[in-house]
A and B are shown apart, each in its own frame.
Chain A
Amino acid sequence: MSVTPLHAMMAAACFGDSEEALSGDLAAFLAKHGVAAEDAEAILASPRRLGLYRQLVRHNVVHVIGVMLERTRTRLDAVVPGELERSMAGFLAEQGPRTPHLRDVPSEFLAWASPRWRADARIPAWLADYAELELVDFTMGVAPRPAPPPPLAEVTVNRALVFGDPRVIIHLEWAVHLLPAEDADAAPEKRPVDLLVYRDAQHCTRYLDLSPLAAVILARLFEGLPLAQALTRACESSGHPLDDAVLGGAARLLADLGERGVLLGAREP
């Protein structure tokens, strides 16, 4: 006789919307999940401890999400008290964690919750951006160790550039990165934000606020285009002339990235 119904029943007891079922008609709950009669009989004759498993399992998942989204919880509670808990319960009931790494569960949760928060008129429109930024601080800090860089050459316009990892450009609709941590009532300015997020040599997550054109240039460079080509393509797609101001700005950006340890050099021809 397959144990699958027993596993299904226990998984539903832990993550399903079944708290009342567990404390109410347990026989009906077991039958609903196809538990065989002899197994159901044994469970019903034992102390009722499915609720304990539900508590223990949910605690592990909810705890890690709460820890990694602590500031988001504070902001969310200020406008819709208890919403993070409700969202987590919805996540567990509808989808549940798929990753074997507990540390990655908050990312799965946020991917599930963000569109729901954005569609919920009770919740500030910037809250999903705020949560994304809070989480990227952790995910960047623990991103896989980079592979050794290729042999490096001097930066010239015809060469592709080599950047240190991990790093990513994130796009936000609100300037949530400027919100003061100590002021839970402050609201961010609505404007497109492009942030370069990277990990420095001391393993700290760092941010660099980019202009829209700088973000496009950097994105092309990250794709591996040679410097001159990246500048040309970025200006074309942004409808911006490739003038001295752009060249000067790009030079300053690359110098800054070099000082930050993000730009390592150029790929050997």
Chain B
Amino acid sequence: MSTAGAKNIVNGVGLGLRWDFVDELLATRPHVDFLEISPENYMGRGGYYDEALERARELWPIVTHGLTMSLGGTDPLREDYLAGLASFLDRVKSPWHSDHLCFSTFGGVVLHDLLPIPFKKEEVVRVADRIKRAQDAIGRPMAVENVSSYMHPGKREMSEAEFIARVCEAADCGLMLDVNNAYVNATNFGFDVDEWMRTVPLDRVVQMHVAGHDWFTEGTWKTSDVVPTDPAEKANMLIVDTHGSDCCDDVLALLERTLRRTGPVPVLLERDQAIPPLEQLLAEVAKVKAIWSRATAKAA
């Protein structure tokens, strides 16, 4: 059965809409609390997938999650992009819009990926100012997402968690808390992820993401089928945020611990590579929903 009836309420556990399964999703109308889409995939386009989005909008609440705002960039924010985004958000009635705390443009070139920004004091004000301007332009509350990163570009003047807290405070914006990204960074950089969670502003979390990741070998950057277990193995490997596998138990456990502290905020399962059959994805959504229900019941 569909969840039509709760069209404007975004909570519970949702699924990132992907073209790989949109037809099946629309045909079977399974129970999913909400869908998340990337506006970049739909803005300024028509045709089949645009029509599919319209149909999905009738059945599920939609939230939007952007990819190319480049909130941490030094290029000016793109006015044409923001204007198109504002119009698109009006159309899909997203209650908020999120994008990443990273940069993805430089010198007019769009890198189409999420590159890390340096955690420097001066950057807090500059990035917060861009978030505020973007928020004004789109006419909706914004949330910024913590990204996975594999190196810190330059000298670090504060921790990632502290940087996120300061930026959210200065911009007075929401936090799109990506639990997997926090786990990936904690593993790759060797910090305590629970301490990280105690530092970021959990009272500003409007939504969370969970996803799977893969282990890569340092230097060759090839994926490994083996998940390292001992420190010696891990020393030569790192986790890459591929969204290409199921959520691991550690990430789900971290999600549960975090939900107990935040209370019932919406959680989204992301999957972008090696996308399994829809039935399998929905089983994972159900697994996350069980965690969500358990954790938020305790929180309540």
Contact = CB atoms under 8 A, between A and B. Distances in A.
Interface of A: 1-4, 6-11, 14-15, 35-36, 38-39, 41-43, 46-53, 55-57, 60-61, 95-103, 105, 141-146, 166, 199, 203
A50 to B, nearest CB: 7
Nearest to A58: B113
B73 A7 contact: yes
A43 B153 contact: yes
Nearest to A61: B112
Give the interface centre of B46, B81, B216 by most chain A CB atoms within 10 Å. B46
Given A7-B106, A52-B221, A142-B45, 15 more contacts: A1-B120, A2-B74, A7-B73, A7-B74, A15-B111, A47-B151, A49-B151, A49-B218, A52-B216, A53-B115, A53-B150, A57-B113, A97-B109, A101-B40, A101-B43
A141 B113 contact: no
25 contacts: A7-B74, A8-B106, A10-B153, A11-B106, A11-B115, A46-B151, A49-B151, A51-B221, A52-B216, A52-B238, A57-B115, A96-B111, A97-B109, A97-B110, A97-B111, A99-B110, A100-B78, A100-B110, A101-B68, A102-B40, A103-B41, A142-B50, A143-B45, A203-B47, A203-B48
A97 B216 CA distance: 27
Interface residues of B, number: 44
Given A7-B74, A55-B221, A143-B47, A102 B112 contact: yes
Contacts of B163: none
Contacts of A49: 150-151, 218, 238
B154 A39 contact: yes
Interface string B42-58: 01111111110000000
Contact of B155 (A4, A9, A42, A144): A42
Contacts of B110: 96-100
Q: Secondary structure at chain B's binding surface: helix, strand, loop or mixed?
A: loop
A3 B111 contact: no
A103 B40 CA distance: 9
B46 A39 contact: no
Contacts of A100: 40, 68, 78, 81, 110
Interface in B30-81: 40-41, 43-51, 68, 73-74, 78, 81
B47 A39 contact: no
A57 B111 contact: yes
A166 B46 CA distance: 9
Contacts of B50: 142, 145
B198 interface: no
B109 A96 contact: yes
A56 to B, nearest CB: 6
B47 A35 contact: no
A8 B107 CA distance: 8
B156 A56 contact: no
A163 to B, nearest CB: 15
B71 to A, nearest CB: 13
With most chain B CB atoms within 10 A of its CB, the pick from A11, A141, A199 is A11
B266 interface: no
Contact of B46 (A6, A38, A60, A142): A142
Contact of A38 (B106, B155, B219): B155
B294 interface: no
B156 A144 contact: no
A133 B111 CA distance: 26
Contacts of B120: 1, 3
Contacts of B108: 98
Interface string B143-156: 00000001111111
B44 A144 contact: yes
A144 B150 contact: no
B222 to A, nearest CB: 10
Contacts of A50: 151
A98 B68 CA distance: 11
A56 B47 contact: no
A210 B5 CA distance: 50
B107 A11 contact: yes
Contacts of B111: 11, 14-15, 57, 96-97
